[in-house]
Amino acid sequence: MLAARVLADHFDRVTVIERDQLPDGSENRPGVPHARPLHFFFKRGLMVAEELFPGVTADLQAAGSHLLDQGRDFRILYRSGWSPRAEIGLEFCTFTRPLLEATIRRHLVANPKISLLQGFEVAGLAVSGDGARVEGVRIQPRHQDPNVLPEVQTLAAELVVDTSGRGSKAPEWLEAAGFAKPEETVVDAFWGYATRIYEPVDDFQKDWKNLLVMNRPPYQPRAGIIQPIEGNRWLVTIAGVMHDYPPTDEEGFLKFARSLSSPELYRAIEHARPLSRIWGYRRTENRLRHYEKANVPQGFAALGDSVCAFNPVYGVGMTLTGLEALALRKCLRDGKGRLNSHRFQKQVAKLVAAPWALTTGEDLRWPATQGGQITAKVKFMHWYIEQVIRLIPQSQEVFRRFQEVNHMLKPPTALFHPAVLGPVLRQAFGPKRILPMPKEAPARAPQHSTSTSTVAVRH
C-alpha cells in the first residue's frame, strides 16, 4: 500500500492486485497468516506511514492503538537485567495488524488514482515481443471452480511492482519469462510463535504497558511479550528458537509462559481472560533475494518481504518496507517518472544490508542456526553488542542510543558513538568491570495482587 501511494504521484492509474477479498473492517484474512502474531511499528516506520498518509497516526490512536514510549512504558528483560525506566522520546506504535491494514487501506482508496482489484491472483508476467521488458501481469480469479480452467487475463502496465511478500513467486515468473532468478540467501534459527489475545484483569498491578522478556543465547531459547492493543486487550506472543516451538494448547501455552526468564509474563496472564484461541506461526527464516545482482528487466521492481523477509522477532519488516517505498519515490523522481529497475534494486539492497547483518548476526548466536557464516566481523559484532547489552540496565544513555538503531532512526555505526564506545571500552578493558553478566536474570518482577497486495501495477 505504501508503494502504491508512491506510484500514484507518477502514474495516472495504480492497481493493487490482491488475491484475498478484503474485509471492510479490521479482520484477519487468509493471505496474511502472519497478521495474527504481534505487529508493531518502530518510530521510523510510523514516520514513513505518516509521511505517505498524513493523519494515519491519529486514526490509529482514535481506533484504540497505543503510542508508547520505549523507555517509560516498557519493561524489557535483557540477559543483563531490566531496561532503565524513563521517557526517551522514542515512540512505539502497537495495534493488531488487521487494524493497521484497514486504517492505511482507508487512506489508500481515498486516492482516486488507486484502485484495488480483489480476489485476483497474479500468475505470471507479460513481456514485450522482444522479451526485453515487462509489460504487465497475468492474473486469474482466485476462487474458481476446480473443474473449470482458470480464465487468465493480461493486465498491461508500464511498471509492475512485486510486493507479494515472503512467499513471492516473482523469481519463478521471471524465469518463465526468460530472465534469471535472483539468488537467495537463507538464515534460519528455527523460531516459532504462539499468540493469544487476552483481556487483562481490572485490578492487575503492574508498572508497564508493554512487557518483553527476552531469551538468552545460546542456551535459554524462550521469550515472550505482552503488547496492548485496541479494545483494552493484550496481544500475548510467546516464542522459542532452535525448534523449541511454543505449544498451541492451553496447558502447554501457560507452561511455556511460566518457563521464561521472568515470572512476570505468566503472572500477568494467569488470571487474565483469554479472548481467542492460540495461533501458532513458524515461517520465520531470514530470506534475502538478491535482485541487485540479477538481470532485472525494465518494467519490473520488487520490494518488501518479497525481496527480504526477516526473522520477525526483530520487528523490522514493515519499517524497512516503508523505507524501500521512499527509495522508490526517490528513484522515480530522479528518473522524472521512469524507473531504472537495476538502480532501484541496488538502493533496496543498500537499505537491507544493515538490518540483515544485525538480525542474521543475532540469529547466528544460536548453535542450531542454519545458513550464514560466523565470520570475524560477526564475532566482533557479537562481542560488541554483548557489551552494549551489559551496559543497558545501568545506562539510560546507552539504552536510548541502542533503541535509536532498533527504531532505524540511526545506522548501526551510531553504536560506536563515544557515548557508547567509551563505556564499552571501560567495561571490557578498564581496571574495574562495571557489570559482570549475571547467571540468572534479576527477577525484579513488580509485586502485585495477582502491492499482490502484493503486486501494484500502474497502467
Ligand X SMILES: Cc1cc2nc3c(=O)[nH]c(=O)nc-3n(C[C@H](O)[C@H](O)[C@H](O)COP(=O)(O)OP(=O)(O)OC[C@H]3O[C@@H](n4cnc5c(N)ncnc54)[C@H](O)[C@@H]3O)c2cc1C
Strand ranges of the sheet holding 39-41, from the earlier edge strand across to the other edge: 39-41, 91-95, 66-69
Distance between CA 160 and CA 108 in Å, rounded? Answer: 18
Q: In this chain, which stretch among 178-186, 342-350, 407-415, 447-455 interacts with ligand X, using CB under 6 A?
A: 447-455
> Would you give the distance in Å from CA 186 to the centre of its chain?
16
Q: Does 19 bind ligand X (CB under 6 A)?
A: yes
d(CA 458, CA 301): 12
Q: How far apart are CA 275 and CA 273, in angstroms?
A: 6
Which of 108, 260, 301, 318 is the binder for ligand X (CB under 6 A)? Answer: 318
120-127 vs 134-141, strand pairing mode = antiparallel
Which H or E run contains 186?
strand 184-187
Question: Measured in Å, how far apart are the chain's first and last C-alpha atoms?
Answer: 16
Write down the least CB distance from residue 166 to ligand X, Å: 6
Instruction: From 325, 330, 235, 356, select the one nearest 45 (Cα to Cα).
Output: 325
186's grid cell = 537463507
Question: Does the protein bind ligand X through residue 317 (CB under 6 A)?
Answer: yes
| Residues 95/39, Cβ–Cβ less than 8 Å | yes
Cell triple for 45: 516506520
Residue 166, Ramachandran bin (φ over 0: left; ψ between -120 and 50: alpha; else beta): alpha
The piece of 158-166, 350-358, 387-395, 434-442 that touches ligand X (CB under 6 A) is 158-166
State in angstroms the smallest separation of the CB of 302 from ligand X: 9
Say which residues have a Cβ less than 8 Å from residue 336's Cβ, sequence separation at least 6: none
Stretch that binds ligand X, among 248-256, 259-267, 304-312, 436-444 (CB under 6 A): 304-312
- Other C-beta atoms lying within 10 Å of the C-beta of residue 328: 24
Nearer residue to ligand X within complex by CB, 141 or 263: 141
Cell numbers found for residue 313 = 522477532
Is 17 among the residues that bind ligand X (CB under 6 A)?
A: yes
Angle between helices 396-406 and 418-429 (to 10 degrees): 120
Report the alpha-carbon distance of residue 404 to residue 330 in Å, rounded: 24
| Bridging pattern class, strands 222-229 and 159-163 | unpaired
Instruction: Please report how close the Cβ of residue 314 comes to ligand X at its closest, in angstroms.
Output: 9
Is 421 a binder of ligand X (CB under 6 A)?
no
Stretch that binds ligand X, among 75-83, 149-157, 161-169, 171-179 (CB under 6 A): 161-169
With beta carbons less than 8 A apart as the criterion, state whether 438 and 74 touch: no
Answer yes or no whether residue 355 interacts with ligand X by CB under 6 A.
Answer: no
Is residue 423 a contact point for ligand X (CB under 6 A)? no
> Does residue 18 interact with ligand X by CB under 6 A?
yes
Give me the least distance between CB of 269 and ligand X, in Å please: 19
- The gap from C-alpha 214 to its chain's centroid, in whole angstroms, comes to 17
Q: Is 324 in the site for ligand X (CB under 6 A)?
A: no
Residue keyed to cell 557508547: 420
* Ranges within 267-286 binding ligand X (CB under 6 A): 281
Is residue 220 within the footprint of ligand X (CB under 6 A)?
Answer: no
From residue 41 to residue 70, the character string flagging contacts with ligand X as x (rule: CB under 6 A) and all else as - is ----x-------------------------
The reply to whether 32 sits near ligand X by the rule CB under 6 A is yes
Nearer to ligand X, 360 or 427 (CB): 360
Tell whether residue 407 is a contact of ligand X (CB under 6 A).
no
Tell me which of 269, 452, 457, 458 binds ligand X, using CB under 6 A.
452
236 belongs to the binding site for ligand X (CB under 6 A):
no
Give the per-residue contact string, 106-145, with ligand X (x = CB under 6 A; - = no).
Answer: ---------------xx-----------------------
- Give least dist CB 305 to ligand X, A: 4
Binders of ligand X among 184-203, rule CB under 6 A? 193
Q: Which residues bind ligand X (CB under 6 A)?
A: 17-20, 31-32, 34, 37-40, 45, 121-122, 163-166, 193, 281, 304-306, 312, 315-319, 321, 451-454
